[in-house]
């Protein structure tokens, strides 16, 4: 049997400097560590819950197949232990020697930095924009700049100069961070540690980062209280708000393959540690409706760090990815020392935060079966604003059509009760009926009569009833338009 080496410290590179981190510091939010331990106060903390982007830094992690793309994340909610064998670039690391970088120069030239608090985060998001556009050879448009800056809040109506700075970047003057920081020296140094696991014990916390699944399953079976942490975008907020405190933690990101997203004729397999960004990029061409929904999910920083599995396993009744994946009949794959099993999403949510999951089980992936035939999809997120907002109501419909008749219907909704739900009665009403506004109006009325939504800060119960009825009508009109335009393309 091969002996697996374990380290009792993390190895991280910050702005070109290699650092070993052990004990309590490994469990701190990255922003706190950067500011208080490394004395890099450029990274600001304002909301401490992933909402404003002031704490944005750029990161890349070395895996067996190379460095992950450099991406911005929110360092206020991300614990340090997620960054083993990672390179982190803060706003201090953007400048080269004593020269400001192109991003910083343009922010200064266009007066993009007014308060000083949001500015470092804006610079980091803009650095990713410059990095991606230069690497792919694409131009910076205002739309692209807005998308990259979705997770950076300016509270003083200063977006115009910030967008001007972004759209005036001269990419010839942008020195790639990947070339500056992900050097061959660093790569070979980190490579020699790739096969090592990490186990860190502080005064009252323990972290396990095994390198093989059998070891992870063993740890979970011996101690079911060990909490799995994926991207920590849900857990990090709870910890910062003192709503939870994790003593025993396990992270699967050192187990090869856990970040993978792969496709075959039978469907898509999404690994437990695959980020929302990776999934969004993967489904871009084959599943544009899912891509559209993921585009308005949170912010780039959250999607670069958070995982799809984390969204599903967190099990919020307003988790945005759950209704579409439920209508696609997706299955969570679980493993424990007792064996493997799959659970359909429609059977996973038993009551508010009560799941069909044994204490010793670890989710290893999500399988999304391929649909073959004439299917149409619509996924809606109803929220107060388009970007970076929590949903009031979510809706997903997948219909199979034969001529003008609905031959199969799958409907799922969130925000209408304690869990996301499949709606079998509504599906029966739609199936076998004509694809018409009348059928959808009847389906909307039935759906509204079946739900028991709460009134809360996001919406009243009455609103949720009304919006449910209206979403069925919207679904009909959008699907009708889509099918008519497909017909026009075939018979112009």
Ligand X SMILES: Cc1cc2nc3c(=O)[nH]c(=O)nc-3n(C[C@H](O)[C@H](O)[C@H](O)COP(=O)(O)OP(=O)(O)OC[C@H]3O[C@@H](n4cnc5c(N)ncnc54)[C@H](O)[C@@H]3O)c2cc1C
When the beta carbons of 21 and 52 are compared against ligand FES, the nearer one is 52
Residues 118-137 that bind ligand FES (CB under 6 A): 118-119
When the beta carbons of 115 and 340 are compared against ligand FES, the nearer one is 115
Q: Give the pair of three-digit tokens for residue 352.
A: 């508010």
Among 7, 19, 28, 47, the residue binding ligand FES under the rule CB under 6 A is 47
Among 45, 91, 235, 416, the residue binding ligand FES under the rule CB under 6 A is 45
Hey, which residues does 86 pair with through a beta bridge?
Answer: 12, 61
Three state DSSP letters for the chain: CCCCCEECCEEEEECCEEEEECHHHHHCEHHHHHHHHCCCCCCCCCCCCCCCCCCEEEEEEEECCEECCCEEEECCCCEHHHHCCEEEECHHHCCECCECCHHHHHHHHCCCCCCCCCHHHHHHHHHHHHHHHHHHCCCCCHHHHHHHCCCCCCCCCCHHHHHHHHHCCCHHHCCCHHHHHCCHHHHHHHHCCCCCEEEEECCCCEEEECCCHHHHHHHHHHCCCCEECCCCCCHHHHHHCCCCCCCEEECCCCCCCCCCEEEECCEEEEECCCEHHHHHHHHCCCCHHHHHHHHCCCCHHHHHHCEHHHHHHHCCCCCCCHHHHHHCCCEEEEEECCEEEEEEHHHHEEECCEECCCCCCEEEEEEEECCCCCEEEEEEEECCCCCCCCCCEEEEEEEEEECCEEEEEEEEEECCCCCCEECHHHHHHHCCCECCHHHHHHHHHHHHHHCCCCCCCCCCHHHHHHHHHHHHHHHHHHHHHHHHHHHHHHCC
For ligand FES (CB under 6 A), the number of binding residues is 21
Among 73, 229, 328, 366, the residue binding ligand X under the rule CB under 6 A is 229
Taking CB under 6 A as the rule, does residue 272 contact ligand X?
yes
Taking CB under 6 A as the rule, does residue 48 contact ligand X?
no
Least distance CB 108 / ligand FES (angstroms): 13
Length of the chain equals: 492
* Span from 41-49, 233-241, 340-348, 418-426 in contact with ligand FES (CB under 6 A): 41-49
When the beta carbons of 42 and 365 are compared against ligand FES, the nearer one is 42
Taking CB under 6 A as the rule, does residue 270 contact ligand FES?
no
When the beta carbons of 127 and 232 are compared against ligand X, the nearer one is 232
The item of ligand X, ligand FES, none sharing an interface with residue 52, based on CB under 5 to 8 Å by kind, is ligand FES
Q: Dmax over Cα atoms in the chain, in whole Å?
A: 71
x-or-dash pattern for ligand FES, window 142-171, by CB under 6 A?
------------xxx-x-------------
Among 29, 42, 50, 197, the residue binding ligand X under the rule CB under 6 A is 50
Least distance CB 160 / ligand FES (angstroms): 11
Taking CB under 6 A as the rule, does residue 298 contact ligand X?
yes
Residues 49-78 that bind ligand FES (CB under 6 A): 50-55, 74, 76
The item of ligand X, ligand FES, none sharing an interface with residue 38, based on CB under 5 to 8 Å by kind, is none
Integer angstrom CA distances of residue 461 from 227, 246, 471: 34, 34, 15
Least distance CB 117 / ligand FES (angstroms): 6
The item of ligand FES, ligand X, none sharing an interface with residue 319, based on CB under 5 to 8 Å by kind, is ligand X
The item of ligand X, ligand FES, none sharing an interface with residue 228, based on CB under 5 to 8 Å by kind, is ligand X
**Gap between the Cα atoms of 81 and 25, Å rounded:** 9
Nearest to 91 by CA among 43, 29, 35: 43
Among 237, 326, 416, 446, the residue binding ligand X under the rule CB under 6 A is 237
CB-based contact 171:179 (threshold 8 Å): no
Taking CB under 6 A as the rule, does residue 111 contact ligand FES?
no
Least distance CB 315 / ligand X (angstroms): 8
The item of ligand X, ligand FES, none sharing an interface with residue 472, based on CB under 5 to 8 Å by kind, is none
When the beta carbons of 52 and 325 are compared against ligand FES, the nearer one is 52
* Span from 16-24, 34-42, 116-124, 165-173 in contact with ligand FES (CB under 6 A): 116-124
* Span from 92-100, 169-177, 297-305, 337-345 in contact with ligand X (CB under 6 A): 297-305
Least distance CB 228 / ligand X (angstroms): 4
Least distance CB 120 / ligand X (angstroms): 18
x-or-dash pattern for ligand X, window 360-399, by CB under 6 A?
--xx------------------------------------
Nearest to 122 by CA among 72, 76, 168: 72
Cβ neighbors of 180 (< 8 A, separation 6 or more) are 16, 96
**Gap between the Cα atoms of 172 and 360, Å rounded:** 53
Taking CB under 6 A as the rule, does residue 307 contact ligand X?
yes
Binding stretches for ligand FES (CB under 6 A): 45-48, 50-55, 74, 76, 114-115, 117-119, 154-156, 158
Residue numbers at the binding site for ligand X (CB under 6 A): 49-51, 227-235, 237, 252, 272, 276, 297-298, 302, 306-307, 309-311, 313-314, 319-320, 362-363
């Amino acid at each position: 049997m091969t002996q697996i080496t374990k380290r009792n410290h993390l190895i991280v590179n910050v702005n070109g400097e290699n650092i070993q981190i052990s004990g309590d510091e490994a469990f701190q939010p990255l922003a706190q560590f950067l500011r208080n331990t490394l004395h890099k106060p450029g990274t600001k903390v304002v909301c401490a819950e992933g909402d404003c982007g002031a704490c944005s830094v750029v990161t890349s992690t070395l895996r067996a197949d190379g460095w992950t793309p450099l991406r911005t994340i929110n360092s206020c909610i991300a614990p340090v232990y997620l960054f083993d064998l990672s390179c982190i670039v803060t706003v201090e690391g953007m400048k080269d020697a004593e020269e400001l970088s192109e991003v910083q120069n343009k922010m200064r030239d266009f007066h993009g930095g007014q308060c000083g608090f949001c500015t470092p985060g804006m610079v980091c998001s803009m650095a990713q924009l410059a990095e991606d556009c230069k690497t792919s050879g694409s131009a910076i448009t205002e739309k692209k700049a807005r998308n990259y800056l979705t997770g950076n809040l300016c509270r003083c109506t200063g977006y115009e100069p910030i967008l001007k700075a972004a759209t005036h970047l001269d990419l010839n003057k942008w020195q790639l961070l990947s070339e500056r920081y992900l050097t061959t020296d660093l790569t070979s140094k980190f490579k020699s540690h790739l096969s090592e696991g990490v186990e860190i014990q502080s005064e009252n916390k323990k972290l396990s980062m095994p390198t093989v699944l059998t070891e992870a399953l063993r740890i979970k079976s011996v101690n079911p209280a060990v909490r799995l942490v994926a991207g920590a975008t849900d857990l990090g907020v709870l910890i910062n708000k003192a709503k939870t405190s994790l003593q025993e933690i396990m992270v699967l990101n050192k187990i090869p393959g856990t970040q993978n997203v792969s496709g075959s004729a039978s469907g898509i397999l999404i690994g437990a540690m695959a980020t929302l960004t990776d999934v969004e990029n993967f489904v871009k061409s084959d599943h544009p409706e899912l891509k559209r929904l993921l585009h308005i999910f949170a912010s780039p920083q959250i999607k670069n760090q958070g995982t799809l599995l984390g969204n599903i396993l967190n099990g919020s009744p307003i988790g945005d990815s759950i209704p579409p994946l439920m209508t696609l009949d997706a299955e969570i794959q679980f493993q424990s020392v007792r064996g493997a099993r799959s659970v359909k999403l429609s059977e996973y949510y038993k009551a508010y935060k009560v799941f069909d999951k044994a204490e010793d089980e670890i989710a290893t992936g999500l399988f999304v079966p391929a649909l073959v035939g004439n299917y149409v999809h619509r996924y809606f997120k109803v929220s107060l604003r388009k970007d970076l907002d929590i949903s009031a109501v979510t809706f997903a419909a997948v219909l199979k059509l034969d001529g003008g008749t609905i031959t199969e219907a799958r409907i799922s909704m969130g925000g209408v009760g304690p869990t996301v739900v499949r709606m079998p009665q509504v599906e029966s009403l739609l199936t076998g009926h004509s694809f018409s506004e009348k059928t959808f109006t009847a389906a909307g009325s039935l759906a509204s009569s079946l739900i028991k939504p709460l009134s809360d800060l996001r919406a009243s119960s009455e609103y949720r009833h009304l919006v449910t009825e209206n979403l069925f009508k919207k679904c009909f009109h959008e699907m009708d338009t889509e099918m008519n335009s497909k017909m026009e393309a075939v018979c112009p």
